[in-house]
């Protein structure tokens, strides 16, 4: 039942309401969205699912997003998966630093609009198709 054209997105986020919101926004556009409640579960699911894209919250209690990101990039099987970081507005000073240091694919600050989310997801996925 796995349609090759359906883009699979894994949302790693410790707030279930946020996962539901992201799933609602993206599934309307035909994306298959799975959620992982926290960094450890997210990392495990990334390795099992090998999604087309990861939406990664930075602030999580069990394992923060940077740790998840670094472990993904250190693993041969998950290194190529693009990552969009989702974080709170207050951390925007880290935005430029994070993008340069970690080479994340894109960045969305909460609260974001559905348009912001879709634009970012479609931009990053378009780059991976072209690559």
d(CA 10, CA 97) in angstroms, rounded, equals 24
Q: CA of 38: how far to CAs of 35, 93, 116, in Å?
A: 9, 24, 23
Q: pLDDT tens digits for 38-83?
A: 999 999 999 999 999 999 998 888 888 889 999 999 999 999 999 9
Instruction: Considering only residues 1 and 106, tell me which one the structure prediction assigns the higher pLDDT.
Output: 106
d(CA 96, CA 48) in angstroms, rounded, equals 31
CB 14 within 8 A of CB 57: yes
Task: Give helix 92-102 / helix 65-74 axis angle, nearest 10°.
Answer: 10
CA-closest candidate to residue 41, choices 2, 68, 20: 68
* CA angle at 96 for the pair 92 and 102, rounded to the nearest 5°: 115
The pLDDT assigned to 89 comes to 61
CATH number of the domain at 8-124, out of 3.20.20.70, 3.90.180.10, 3.40.50.2300, 3.40.50.880? 3.40.50.2300
The pLDDT assigned to 111 comes to 87
- What is the chain's mean pLDDT, rounded? 88
**Among the residues of 1-131, which ranges form H helices?**
16-27, 39-49, 65-74, 92-102, 114-130
Please say if the pLDDT value at position 19 is more than 90. Answer: yes
Share of the chain above pLDDT 90, in %: 64
- pLDDT confidence of 119, banded at 50, 70, 90? very high
Write down the domain spans for the chain. 8-124
Q: What is the mean pLDDT of residues 92-96?
A: 56
CA-closest candidate to residue 116, choices 124, 105, 108, 125: 108
């Amino acid at each position: 039942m796995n349609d090759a054209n359906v883009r699979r997105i894994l949302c790693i986020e410790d707030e279930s309401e946020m996962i539901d919101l992201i799933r609602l926004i993206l599934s309307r556009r035909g994306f298959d969205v799975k959620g992982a409640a926290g960094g450890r579960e997210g990392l495990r699911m990334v390795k099992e699912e090998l999604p087309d894209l990861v939406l990664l919250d930075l602030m999580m209690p069990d394992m923060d997003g940077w740790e998840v990101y670094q472990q993904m990039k250190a693993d041969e099987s998950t290194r190529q998966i693009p990552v969009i970081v989702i974080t709170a507005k207050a951390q925007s000073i880290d935005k430029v630093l994070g993008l340069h240091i970690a080479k994340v694919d894109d960045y969305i600050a909460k609260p974001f609009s559905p348009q912001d989310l879709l634009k970012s997801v479609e931009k990053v996925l378009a780059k991976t198709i072209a690559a």
